[in-house]
Amino acid sequence: MERVALVTGSSRGIGRAVAAELAREGWAVCVNYIQHQQAAEDAVRAIRDAGGRAVAVQADVADGAAVAEMVRRAERELGGHVSLLVNNAGVAGQAQFQDITDEMWDRYLAVNLGGARNTIRAVLPRMISEKAGCIVNISSIWGLRGASCEVAYACTKAAIIALTRSLAAELGPSHIRVNCVAPGVIDTDMVQVLGRETLDDLAEQTPLGRLGTPEDIAHAVAFLASDRASFITGQVLTADGGFIV
């Protein structure tokens, strides 16, 4: 039976790099997307061309029914049960607190936090029955420190950390590990909207002198998912080049 990993929001950026890294580590990977179908199919093609197994499945993680169907399809097509879940899907944006609309607030919570709840709920029964499994949640340094004009985003990412620690304690007796990666400023489409000048300034503020890459985060996720981390649970691995030291 295949070792199956589900990586949400994996058509681009960090998620795509995570999916590719896990495939290199021998996982059959479900590449989840909501809008960017061509990018997801390209990610799957790249994995297959490298000798791996992958399938692209569309689902809005905020929709619990869609998530449940995604898991069923991934397991059916990849020939195994999801034993590794990477909660990467998220939405972000900048706005002053008084300008955050109800719709924006609700969407951030529904995707960034509710999405993680939906995916965990979909894969957990099998993990518990088999007393094995691994969950890696993607938070952010802003969930640890907070950020001006990113209140909604930071709130959801702080909640992901609390989710990680609480679930780790609850699921430990079932031998299910739950950990978290908190990326710093990573050079993806999500941060390109900040502009080159701002990105250069952020790189200067980073002790290691550069922005992170999606592959930097993928390596951290792959480590936490591996047997090398078999005694690690409930932890937040900050991968930010020293930004919040």
As given in the structure block, the two tokens for residue 234 are: 């409930």
- Is residue 54 within 8 Å of 43, Cβ to Cβ? yes
Helices (H), 60-113: 64-78, 102-108
| Cα–Cα distance list, 6 to 137, 142, 169, 198, 217 (Å) | 12, 25, 22, 33, 16
CA 77 to chain centre: 22
Q: How far apart, in whole angstroms, are the C-alpha atoms of residue 143 and residue 201?
A: 21
The closest alpha carbon to 229, from 192, 190, 180, belongs to 180
Strands lying side by side in the sheet with 82-87? 54-58, 28-33, 4-7, 82-87, 133-138, 176-183, 236-239
- Is residue 19 within 8 Å of 54, Cβ to Cβ? yes
- Candidate list 108, 142, 153, 243, residue with the active-site label: 153
Q: Does the active-site annotation cover 153?
A: yes
Q: Which residues are catalytic?
A: 153
